[in-house]
Amino acid sequence: MVEVLAKYIPEHAVEPVFELIKIYGVHLKIVNERVTRHGDYHRDASGYHRITVNANLNKYRFLITLVHEIAHLAAFEKFGRNIKPHGDEWKLTFQKLMVPFIRPEIFPPQLLPLLARHFRNPKASSDTDATLSIALKQFDQKASDKNYIYELPYGASFRIYNGKVFKKGAQRVKRFECLEIGTGRIYLFSPNAEVELLP
């Protein structure tokens, strides 16, 4: 397991993460990319704690995602299974588990202040913190045909993962209004959404 973890997370995080996996009895499965999530946790019918994490994540996002999912398990064990999945108990647990990893030996210096700010009140997904998400994406192996919404000029046409085509509109407070070409409906997009720019 240590050798597998070493392929996916920063070197100095391998041993402490392996200890968490042993402490909580986690069965970790690394899976192909899922568009809607980076990872998930569930307890199966036989009582095994199963965590899946997408294989395509960069090592920093992989680490955050894995600890996020372990925090679900730890929070359910400590506070009971009736808590909200991303409620106060989970946030407290996620903070406690993640803080020891927010160190310069593990994360690049430019991510440390963003992580410190994010973990004052962690969200259900690091993707909802656009500043942190964009900073983390600089470590992705970026596909040449992908752009982020915030990079596109006003009025640009783009396609999302499911083939739907949109035209970029004005920015609201944080998100961009985009017109779906096929239906004429307006949708809001996070600035860090990955899209394919169309000619």
Spell out the SS3 assignment of the chain: CHHHHHHHCCHHHHHHHHHHHHHHCEEEEEECCECCECEEEEECCCCCEEEEEECCCCHHHHHHHHHHHHHHHHHHHHHCCCCCCCCHHHHHHHHHHHHHHCCCCCCCCCCHHHHHHHCCCCCCCHHHCHHHHHHHHCCCCCCCCCEEHHHCCCCCEEECCCCCEEEEEEECCCCEEEEECCCCCEEEECCCCEEEECC
Same-domain pairing of 97 and 154: no
Number of domains the chain is built from: 2
Tell me: the pLDDT tens digits for 10-49? 999 999 999 999 999 999 999 987 777 899 999 888 888 9
Same-domain pairing of 23 and 66: yes
Same-domain pairing of 100 and 189: no
* pLDDT of 124: 83
Domain boundary among 137, 167, 189: 137
In a domain, 124, yes or no: yes
* pLDDT of 118: 94
- Residue 112's pLDDT band (boundaries 50, 70, 90)? very high
* pLDDT of 182: 94
The domain containing residue 44 runs over which residues? 2-137
Same-domain pairing of 46 and 113: yes
Same-domain pairing of 117 and 163: no
